[in-house]
Structure 1
Amino acid sequence: MTSVADDAERVATIKTAIRAESERVRARLPWLRHQDAIGAAIMAISVLGMIVSGWAYVAGLIPWWVCVPVSAIFASFIHELEHDLIHTLYFRKSPGAYQLMMALCWITRPSTVSPWTRRRLHLHHHKYSGTESDLEERAITNGERWGLRRLLMTGDHMLAVLLRPAMMRETVKAYIKAQQPGSRDEVDMLIREQRRSFVPLSLVHYAIWYLFLGYHGVSLALGLAGMPIETSAFMQLVDTTVVVWLAPNVLRVFCLHFVSSNMHYYGDIDTRNIVQQCQVLNPWWLWPAQLFCFNFGSTHAIHHFVVNQPFYVRTLTIREAHRVMRENGVRFNDVGALRRANRWGAAPA
């Protein structure tokens, strides 16, 4: 058992080493100083990549099973850009460009909550990681026991709410309380913010997605019963929309949420101790999921120590960061946390 002073010293050692390595990388690659241009270029390439992939599917050049993963990979780059934007790493002095980037993040990834709402949730997550009020992580099933229910909720924000309404209400209450609103108006504002977080794009996404699943479920059942139905022009349009826009994000979100919810600890940690907030989760068998969330399991714990690195710089520091993190108590591949409902110690009774 280490003391609070020991843990604080370990955190400081890790932060110093990561920052020093980041500076070495930047000195070696001076073009990294063009941070706004790099962010804009990654966004442009990623959006164009999704458009070209979708066009190739519509034109009959590639099948759906190529279009969906290819677009999901491009969308994973955009997720990393949104994460960087939340920490104001691009266009800090150009609000118009910043807001355009945020809007593109949501348009290309409509299954997520509004990035403007997520900004507050994510900054709160850094302050209260692993606690009851950590709405961002609790919403993606961190702290839940594994089973069919958690599996269904992992890739579906709506099911994550509908399958545990009481827990989500209590988490939202804890989140609002931790925000320390000074008046009833501020409380109402926070409540309205949560209610609006799915409007309009996320609601559009789930309306089309559930229509797609319901229609094809019924179609399959009728086909097995010897009463096949012919797909209408409208449903053909729905199917195309799902392949080029929605399904890539369903795949990406499931992979990201599986990795993220299991690399963060919950419940029995000292949230002030960054060593206990995350593990590095990168076993070989997780690589299919890592492919669609930009190696999140390897890099996100680094971010908890140094938040102002763009994702590509964080990736370039990974070897030195992992070395110093391992030497100073950060856990690596604690797969047992999946059985312990993401607890640091024993599973809850």
Structure 2
Amino acid sequence: MSPSPASLNDQQRAAYIREQVMAHGNALRQRYPILQHQDALGAGILAFALLGMIGSAALYIGGHLPWWACLLLNAFFASLTHELEHDLIHSMYFRKQPLPHNLMLALVWLARPSTINPWVRRHLHLNHHKVSGSEADMEERAITNGEPWGIARLLMVGDNMMSSFIRWLRAKTPEHRRLILTRTLKVYAPLGLLNWATWYLFLGFHLLDWASAALGAPIAWSATTLSVMQVVNVAVVVLVGPNVLRTFCLHFVSSNMHYYGDVEPGNVIQQTQVLNPWWLWPLQAFCFNFGSSHAIHHFVVKEPFYVRQLTVPFAHRVMREMGVRFNDFGTFARANRWTRAAQAREERTQAA
């Protein structure tokens, strides 16, 4: 029988959730011994994802798969590699074997060139767990957590370079602008810079080509330009485009399931919610059910993503009993604050 949540503070509730979910994960490993082969499973899932991306790309290039199917398939496969990178950041695969561990990190980065260097992200993500919900949580802040909803956030949430650019525009001093610029170049070099340059080249070329034709003055592109754009078009369909889609889905879900600003330091109950309404499933499909499963990770950090997915029904029941929020859509209006500003002021007044 579970304890009454009313008799527990948030730290005790979090500890109870952690204990129950860890026990359930251990029971799953006993029931399904294959789950105990963590390194092999991680490597196998990576091989599956990479072969899936390569296979769908080959089918598209060979004319056997439409562009949209290739893009959607590769966005899904890339979402698997994101989960693997996250597990690798927490040293869940080949922890004491640097060569395969770092090889996996390199491969998941190649599959998702839109992202920052994973060795850099490790520091940002571990810091995220320490300071989640605060201004110091650079990882979540970078993907728009805590931003009021509007045109700026919409542009930033799916485009990492646009996010950096808008923050650069907002910077109040030349020193801050230089810091944003140098940090962006450092963490995205070289794959991220190449990825986003390819994306902007694709958008710019096709926008200019369409606009000139619409105005009755089509541009006579050179054979060299058209040859280059043929390569760019293929790259966008098989790799760049899938990661733009995956980035938008992941960042939209993640930035809105994490709370920001008025979170009590270290209070895991207040750090996240479970965000899994039916209408988010098109996005969840390309971030591997992140909105439903990621909150579990804040309670049980050292659980690989596939075990976490298996624990979802049990974990959700325990989390709901202990007061974790589910589908708090008010977060969109509150810029991801735990409480409304007026409510927070009232609570502070009462406390005083």
Where do 5+ consecutive residues of structure 2 fail to align?
A: 346-352
Amino acid corresponding to residue 196 of structure 1 in structure 2: K
2:249 aligned with 1:255, yes or no? Answer: yes
Q: Alignment partner for residue 233 of structure 2, among 230, 239, 254?
A: 239
Q: Secondary structure of the residue that 1:235 maps to in structure 2?
A: helix
Q: Secondary structure of the residue that 1:117 maps to in structure 2?
A: helix
Q: Alignment partner for residue 40 of structure 1, among 13, 31, 43?
A: 43
2:30 aligned residue:
27
Give the whole-Å Cα distance in 1 for the aligned partners of 2:30 and 2:306.
15
1:225 aligned residue:
215
Label 1:167 to 1:136 Cα distance change in 2 as closer, same or farther (>3 A): farther
**Deviations, residues 164-210 of structure 1 (Å, cap 9, x unaligned):** 2266799x99xxxxxxxxxxxxxx9xx97765211100000111111
Give the whole-Å Cα distance in 1 for the aligned partners of 2:137 and 2:33.
37
RMSD of aligned C-alpha atoms?
2.3
Deviation at 1:5, TM superposition (A): 6.4
Amino acid corresponding to residue 205 of structure 1 in structure 2: N
2:311 aligned with 1:317, yes or no? Answer: yes
Amino acid corresponding to residue 319 of structure 2 in structure 1: M
2:187 aligned with 1:197, yes or no? Answer: yes
Deviation at 1:329, TM superposition (A): 1.0
2:10 aligned with 1:14, yes or no? Answer: no
Amino acid corresponding to residue 141 of structure 1 in structure 2: T
Whether the 8 Å CA contact 1:75–1:108 is kept in 2: the answer is yes
Aligned residues: 331
1:341 aligned residue:
335
2:131 aligned with 1:136, yes or no? Answer: no
2:97 aligned with 1:107, yes or no? Answer: no
Deviation at 1:334, TM superposition (A): 0.2
Amino acid corresponding to residue 269 of structure 1 in structure 2: V
2:125 aligned residue:
122
Give the whole-Å Cα distance in 2 for the aligned partners of 1:223 and 1:134.
46
1:68 aligned residue:
71
Whether the 8 Å CA contact 1:117–1:193 is kept in 2: the answer is no
Amino acid corresponding to residue 203 of structure 1 in structure 2: L
Amino acid corresponding to residue 277 of structure 2 in structure 1: P
Q: Secondary structure of the residue that 2:238 maps to in structure 1?
A: helix
Amino acid corresponding to residue 152 of structure 1 in structure 2: L
Whether the 8 Å CA contact 1:139–1:168 is kept in 2: the answer is no
**Deviations, residues 246-279 of structure 1 (Å, cap 9, x unaligned):** 0000000000000000000000111311000000
2:202 aligned residue:
212
Give the whole-Å Cα distance in 1 for the aligned partners of 2:48 and 2:11.
41
Q: Secondary structure of the residue that 2:9 maps to in structure 1?
A: helix
Please give the TM-score of this superposition, normalised by the length of structure 2: 0.90
Q: Secondary structure of the residue that 1:142 maps to in structure 2?
A: coil
Q: Alignment partner for residue 302 of structure 1, among 279, 282, 296?
A: 296
**Deviations, residues 54-82 of structure 1 (Å, cap 9, x unaligned):** 11111111111110000000000000000
Give the whole-Å Cα distance in 1 for the aligned partners of 2:100 and 2:220.
46
Amino acid corresponding to residue 266 of structure 1 in structure 2: Y
2:350 aligned residue:
none
Deviation at 1:229, TM superposition (A): 3.8
2:82 aligned with 1:88, yes or no? Answer: no
2:280 aligned with 1:286, yes or no? Answer: yes
Whether the 8 Å CA contact 2:157–2:252 is kept in 1: the answer is yes
Deviation at 1:10, TM superposition (A): 0.6
Whether the 8 Å CA contact 1:256–1:292 is kept in 2: the answer is yes
Label 1:287 to 1:298 Cα distance change in 2 as closer, same or farther (>3 A): same
Deviates more, 1:249-258 or 1:235-244: 235-244
Label 1:131 to 1:3 Cα distance change in 2 as closer, same or farther (>3 A): farther
Q: Secondary structure of the residue that 1:243 maps to in structure 2?
A: helix
2:194 aligned with 1:153, yes or no? Answer: no
Give the whole-Å Cα distance in 2 for the aligned partners of 1:228 and 1:235.
16
Whether the 8 Å CA contact 2:164–2:184 is kept in 1: the answer is no
Deviation at 1:141, TM superposition (A): 0.3
Amino acid corresponding to residue 284 of structure 2 in structure 1: Q
Deviation at 1:3, TM superposition (A): 9.7
Q: Secondary structure of the residue that 1:317 maps to in structure 2?
A: helix
Give the whole-Å Cα distance in 2 for the aligned partners of 1:93 and 1:150.
40
Amino acid corresponding to residue 312 of structure 1 in structure 2: Y
Q: Secondary structure of the residue that 1:75 maps to in structure 2?
A: helix
Q: Secondary structure of the residue that 1:163 maps to in structure 2?
A: helix
Give the whole-Å Cα distance in 1 for the aligned partners of 2:70 and 2:216.
31
1:328 aligned residue:
322
Give the whole-Å Cα distance in 1 for the aligned partners of 2:93 and 2:167.
36
Give the whole-Å Cα distance in 1 for the aligned partners of 2:117 and 2:10.
36
Whether the 8 Å CA contact 1:341–1:347 is kept in 2: the answer is no
1:182 aligned residue:
none
